[in-house]
Amino acid sequence: MSDLIDFFKTRSSTPIVGLIEPAPSAEELTEILTIASRVPDHGKLNPWRFIIYRGDARIQVGEMLAKRAAQRAAENNEEFSDSHREKELKRFSRAPLVIGVVCSPRDTHRIPEWEQFLSSGACAMQLCNAANALGYGSNWITNWYSDDEEGKRLLGVAPHEKVAGFVHIGTPKAAAPDRPRPELQSVVSEYTGPYQG
């Protein structure tokens, strides 16, 4: 049990540029997705799904995102440089595996959509934990294409769905760097009554 506590106390994200081959095997990926699906889910709705981007699909996605980013820049009278294009081309090919976590809300009056979105976020966190537990590095991001309707469409996300995140997974080149964490006294308080503003 102490090993598990140490695992959670020391978990961190690996920079995407630090994720290299190999990616999880087919069996490991099944295990990761099984663990990611085991999250709080009020009403047993399964209001989420996963999209796997790997192999040449990552290159194809980058090409489409580069075109869309150029369109967005033109629409806003912004410059779109060669370096910006290169950045967009590599969005999904920096890590050997990317898993999209998509909130696909169920139409129910009993459980609000925001609660279903929280369940989707829990899936993304479980993806990271499962990948890390198997010795892989992970990084959970969203980025501009998560909120851009055309960007979402290009990535296989339906208009009624929301992106909870894209989890990039691979073998870490080096130990993940840590970052400063908040002092507990700055984020924890005892209840003292209604908020007074």
User: Predicted confidence band at 172 (pLDDT cuts at 50, 70, 90)?
Assistant: very high
For residue 29, the tally of other CB atoms under 10 A from its CB is 20
SS3 label, residue 163: strand
Predicted confidence at residue 70, as pLDDT, reads 98
What does the pLDDT read at residue 1? 75
Residue 174, C-beta contacts closer than 8 angstroms, at least 6 positions apart: 18
Whether pLDDT at 197 is above 90? no
Q: Which residues are annotated as a binding site for FMN?
A: 11-13, 38, 42, 140-142
Strands (E), 1-45: 19-20
Q: Per-residue pLDDT tens for 101-146?
A: 999 999 998 999 999 999 999 999 999 999 999 999 999 999 999 9
Binding residues: 11-13, 38, 42, 140-142
Whether residue 35 is predicted with pLDDT greater than 90 in this model: the reply is yes
Per CATH, domain 11-55+91-172 is 3.40.109.10? yes
- Is residue 25 exposed (0-12), middle (13-18) or buried (19+ Cβ within 10 Å)? exposed
Tell me: pLDDT of 176 over 90: no
Lowest mean pLDDT among 1-5, 29-33, 60-64: 1-5
